[in-house]
Structure 1
C-alpha cells in the first residue's frame, strides 16, 4: 500500500492527461520509483540525496576519446559513421566509480557545423537495447531539453540526481534531426550500440524500438559523478592495445577493464579507470582514420578528465610500423608514412611527461609489447623500451613487454596471449597486462 501523500501525487499525475506524453511517462515513472522506495523504507536509487556529497570533487566514471570520421569519398564502410538523422541512438557504458549527480558530456570536436541534440536521456541498461523504464530520466542543458554544441566544442549536461554504481551499465539515448553523417565518433568501441527506426524513442524502454546495431560511439565522450567519498581517476591512454582491439565484443576484456576489476577486488572503490585509447593512434603523427597524435590530444583526453590523478601511457608500435607501410590510392590511413627514430619517440614521451608535471598529475610509462617486427623496427622498439625502463623520466614503469613476450622468442608475443595477428593480445593477453600493473604503483607508491 502506498503512503497517502504519494497516492495524492499519483492522483495529481493522473490529471496531467493533456500534458505531453514524455512528461507524463517521466512523472509516473519517477513517482512509482519513489513510492516503492518509501513503502519499503528506502531511498530511491534514482533519487538518492546528493547535497551531502558536495564536499567531494566531481570525478569521471567513464570516458572515451573522440576522433574524426574519415571524410575521404573512397572510405570503406567500416570507416563511415552510420546515418542517424531523424532516429534515436542508444549507447551502453560501464561506469567504474559509484556516485551521484551525473553529468554526461557530448563532443562535436570534429564537427564543421553546430550539432543539435533535440533530446537525450539516461537510464539503467537492461538486456541489449532495453532499459529499466522506471529509471529513465531526461537530460537537460542549461535547464533546456535541447543541446546546441558548436563546431570543435563539447557540452556537459546539467547535473542529474541519479545514483550510478560501478560496473552497472547505463544507457545514454539521444535524438537528433542532424541530416549529415556524424563527423565525431570513437571508431572502435568494442561495445554494441543501437539505432531506432525513424522517430524520437529517447523515452522508450523496449529493445524492439532499436532494431539496428553498430559498434562505434557517436558524440558521447564521458560521464562524471560526485562520489560518496573522496575519489580520483586513473586515465589509461594509448593505441589499440589500450582500446582493446580484438578483445571479445561487449565483454569488457580490455586491460583497463581488468585493472578496474583488480582495484575493486583490492577494496579500492574510490578509483575510476578511464580508457582513452584510440586504435591505430600514434604518438607523433595524426591520421585521417586513427585520431590526432597523442602529443596533441593528451591535454584534452587525459589531463582535463575530471578528478584525474594518474595517467598511464601505452603507445608506440604504430609510430614504428606505419612509416614502412607502402602508400596507396584512396583513403590511406597510414599517411604520413614517416619512419621515426627512437630519439624522436623519446622526445614525444618527454613532452607528455612535462605536460603532466605541469598539471601535478602522475604519469606512468609502459614498455611497447612485442610485435614480430623486422630487425630495423625491432631495434627501435628495444631502444625505446630500454629508455622507458632505465631513463627515470616517468614516475613509474609498467612492463607490458615482459608480461606478454615469449621467453623463448622475446621478439614475439607468447602464443596463448596473442589474438592471432602478432600485435594485439587475446582476452588472456589483456588479462596478463592488467595483472602486470603493480597496484602500489598506480595507488601512488614509490617507483
Structure 2
C-alpha cells in the first residue's frame, strides 16, 4: 500500500511546488499584459453542484483527480490571440490545474495535430485558485474562427474534485484516464463522456472591432431539449443569423442556466439571476447589450411539491407580477450603470394553469408596454399558438409543452430585432 501511494504523494508535491496559490479578484488581469481589443467570444454560467453524500444520477460527478478534462467550445466571433478564464467561484476547496491548453477539435475527443497552444498563468503552467476566485490565462498567439470547434484540455491536480459545473452543456465533453493527456491528439485516452462543463467560464479573442451581446436566462436560453452537439440553442441560431447578415463582428454569449430564477437561489439551478447578473452578463469583454429571458421558474416553483432529500425547487417562493417587474428594474439599473443596453424578452407559453398564466400575461404586458427596457424581444409572440396563446405552437414544442424544439429555438432567433441589437452593441 505504501509503495503504491508514493507516486501520488510525489505528484502532489510536484504540483504544489510548480503551482502558484492565487486569490485574485474576479476578472483580474493575468500578470502578462495583453494588447487591447479583447472581446469574449464564448462563455458559460457556472453553478454549484449540490453538496450531498448520495446525489441522484443527474448530479453525480466524474472522477477528475489527476485526469485531463477536455471540453469542446465554439467561439462566436473570430480573432487572433486567445485567453481563457478559469473559475473557482463556486468551489468548496482550492482548484488546482497543472496544465491547460487549447487546440482545434478534430471531432469527439480528438484534436488536430500541430494546433495545440499551451496556456500559462503569469508564465507558469499550473495554478491553484482559492474558493471564490477566478482569473484569465496569459494571452497566447492563436487564430480562432467563429463557429469552429476548439478543445480546451485541463489537467486536474491529484486530489481535485468537481464542486461546480454548467450542468446542461448540451455538448459532449470528455475525461481521460489517469495522467496528463493534454497533448494527446487521439481520443483513445478519453473514455469518459459527460454533458456538463467545468472550470472554464469564458474564452476571449483579440478582435479590436468586435463587440458582444449576452443572452442570460433559464433553460430556454440554455437550450434544454435542443439537439445534443448540434448548437441549436436560440443564441447559437442568432449568432449564425448575425454572420449571415454581415454582422460577424458581434459575439453572442449564452449565460442561461436551466432551472434558474430571477429572485431565488436553488440547490441545483444556480444563484438567482439577480445575484449573478453583474458577473455573468456584464463581466465579459466587449458586452454592449444584454437580452434577459427569466421568470417562468419563479412563477412555477411555488407550486412544485416539496421533495425529501434533494429539493431542487427550494425555496418554493410565491411571486407576483410586481415582484418580477421590480426585479427587472434592478437589472436595468445595473446594466445602465455599466453603460450596457438591456432588452427584455417576453416569457414564452408554458401551458400554465389559470392563476400562473395570469402572472405570466401580466409580466409580458409590462415588458411590452412599460418602456423600462431599451427594447423588447417578443419570444412569446413568436412561439405561441394563436388559437391557444397559453400554449406553444405544436411544431415549436419539444414535447414537454415548455421547452421549444430545434425549430422553436430557430424561430426565437429569428424574432430578435437584428438592427436594434446591432445598433445597441456597436453604438
Q: TM-score, normalised by structure 1?
A: 0.86
User: SS of the residue aligned with 1:412?
Assistant: strand
**Shift of the alpha carbon at 1:74?**
3.8
Match of 1:192 among 172, 183, 189: 172
**Shift of the alpha carbon at 1:445?**
6.2
User: SS of the residue aligned with 1:134?
Assistant: coil
Match of 2:405 among 412, 426, 429: 426
Quick one: distance in 2 between partners of 1:106 and 1:82? 19
Which deviations, in whole Å up to 9, do the C-alpha atoms of 1:248-278 show, x marking residues without a partner?
0000000000100000000111110000000
Match of 2:391 among 402, 408, 412: 412
**Shift of the alpha carbon at 1:73?**
2.5
Quick one: distance in 2 between partners of 1:178 and 1:189? 25
Quick one: distance in 1 between partners of 2:219 and 2:99? 32
Which deviations, in whole Å up to 9, do the C-alpha atoms of 1:305-331 show, x marking residues without a partner?
111000000111100000000111000
Q: Count residues in correspondence.
A: 393
* Alpha carbons 2:96, 2:160 under 8 Å: kept: no
Quick one: distance in 1 between partners of 2:86 and 2:360? 36
Say yes or no: does 1:375 pair with 2:354.
Answer: yes
Structure 2 counterparts to residues 349-360 of structure 1, below 5 A: 349-360=328-339
Quick one: distance in 2 between partners of 1:219 and 1:173? 11
User: SS of the residue aligned with 1:65?
Assistant: coil
Match of 2:281 among 302, 305, 313: 302
Quick one: distance in 1 between partners of 2:157 and 2:424? 50
Structure with greater Cα Rg: 1
Quick one: distance in 1 between partners of 2:110 and 2:242? 29
User: SS of the residue aligned with 2:101?
Assistant: strand
Moved over 6 A (4+): none
* Alpha carbons 1:356, 1:362 under 8 Å: kept: yes
Which deviations, in whole Å up to 9, do the C-alpha atoms of 1:67-119 show, x marking residues without a partner?
10111224202112212111111000000011122011111111122111010
Quick one: distance in 1 between partners of 2:344 and 2:231? 23
Which deviations, in whole Å up to 9, do the C-alpha atoms of 1:323-368 show, x marking residues without a partner?
0001110000000011110000000000000000000100000000
Residue equivalent to 2:96: 116
RMSD, matched Cα: 1.4
**Shift of the alpha carbon at 1:57?**
2.0
**Shift of the alpha carbon at 1:149?**
1.1
Say yes or no: does 1:288 pair with 2:286.
Answer: no
User: SS of the residue aligned with 1:125?
Assistant: strand
Quick one: distance in 1 between partners of 2:320 and 2:125? 51
Which deviations, in whole Å up to 9, do the C-alpha atoms of 1:39-73 show, x marking residues without a partner?
xxxxxxxxxxxx9x94x521000000011011122
Structure 2 counterparts to residues 214-233 of structure 1, below 5 A: 214-227=194-207, 229-233=208-212
* Alpha carbons 2:289, 2:424 under 8 Å: kept: no
Quick one: distance in 2 between partners of 1:391 and 1:73? 47
Structure 2 counterparts to residues 22-421 of structure 1, below 5 A: 54=35, 57-227=37-207, 229-421=208-400
Q: TM-score, normalised by structure 2?
A: 0.90
* Further displaced range: 381-390 or 107-116: 107-116
Quick one: distance in 2 between partners of 1:366 and 1:245? 17
* Further displaced range: 374-383 or 104-113: 104-113
User: SS of the residue aligned with 2:256?
Assistant: coil
Q: Which runs of 5+ in 2 are unaligned?
A: 1-32
Which is richer in strand? Answer: 2
* Alpha carbons 2:341, 2:424 under 8 Å: kept: no
Quick one: distance in 2 between partners of 1:385 and 1:185? 31
* Alpha carbons 1:74, 1:330 under 8 Å: kept: no
Quick one: distance in 2 between partners of 1:320 and 1:91? 34
Distance 1:178 1:441, change over 3 A: farther
